[in-house]
Structure 1
Amino acid sequence: MKRLRIAVLTGTRADYGLFRPLLDLLEMDPVFDVGLIVTGSHLSPRFGATVTEIERDGRHIVGSVPLDLDDDSELGVTRAAAAALAGVAEQLHALRPHLLVLLGDRFETFAAAAAALLARIPIAHLHGGELSLGAADDAMRHAITKLSWLHFPATKRSAQRIVQLGEDPRRIFVVGALGVDNALHLRKMTKCELEAELGPVFGPQTAVVTFHPVTLEERTAGAQMAELLA
């Protein structure tokens, strides 16, 4: 039986965590030969070199594309994106997968999509059609959608946006969010276990806050955080 070679690009601990249930399913199916192309912060000591988590899970890493992430200026990020495009292009040329699986909207994902399009390798894109108002993510995500062949949005509304971008509805499949699968299957920590891991964190009034900077605005994150905490 001829197996289908599937390459999955992961650039951060965040997207790898979302990919986990999908990778488990693909690896159990004898039809698929699955390999990971690892790049981005996974390979950066500054960000924890999280490739070790992938190795610890026993995944099949078929290639790596190191990037210089120390310079987060506009020029530095542009150079890193260019390196990602060139590096992923080399990996795809060597591997010749039947399909490249991408998730989300990061710059290394966009670079990989451009490389795959030029190499005539079909792309399956997860979590397309979403909106992150005030962030450059939207432009990147929609561009990846236009470069992709198969679309796996999380919601019907996201699927509708993909159709509005001109994609064929027959190639769009609403599958839900991978993060929900993770949430349903992860073992929940108790309050005591969490405090044993992090130290005493729960007072009489405790809030967990996530702050996402407005990437289309320059030098406003400090003022926004101050307003959030006021």
Structure 2
Amino acid sequence: MIRTMRRMKYEKEQKMIDQKIWSLPKIEKGLTLDMGVGDKGFSTRKLIELGAKVVAVDSDLNNLIKQKNLGNILIQCSALHLPFKSSVFVLSVAFFTLHEINPRLHLNVVSEMARVSRKIMIVEPMPGQEDINRRQDNIWSKAMHSIGRFEDYQEIMYWKKLMEKCGLRITICETFRGKNRIPPQKVDEFIKGTVTLMNSYDVSKKHIEEIKDLGKDMINKGMRRSSIDVVIGEH
């Protein structure tokens, strides 16, 4: 009973945070660019739900194929070279995308977003503020780097300064924090999903065992979900 109540409380809080984040972009007439469809198409779906006319891009063709039934325009391209005319989009959204790109290229990517869009919204996980969160960040980052991928988290001011370097005026710069700890059932789901993903990437067993050990501590010591940073800028 207590576990059920804790889970419901946690889920309610996460839903509220999600609603607050997606209430920030004002969807207007015109096109919206989603930078990175991803494996699940989460941000693309949310933007469509909000009534946006979405053009979604991804460098991975498999991700685009998985989301082919969403009913929007899907284009395979590099974030460094967007195949669009200047200012064709009202809004460009990078939701949990930039930390998976080489940090040396972040300025180039944001500059391209600023070229094709009047407004930009960046949503990124904040670096861990508690020991167990920092441990999770470190394990996942090492695992991704070991296979040539990127997983590098930045402070909110980093994203703000990138936008300003691209000539954007910052209108929103907020961090959303949850108070409730992740319930054991959600921890189990997270660890199983992470292990499955690591296996699909052919990550070293060493990193997989580290993430399993982390799961035990997440349950025994408790862990909050990483805070989420949102920065919006416009020309």
Relative to the length of structure 2, the TM-score reads 0.42
More strand by share: 2
| Structure having greater relative contact order (Cα 8 Å, sep ≥ 6) | 2
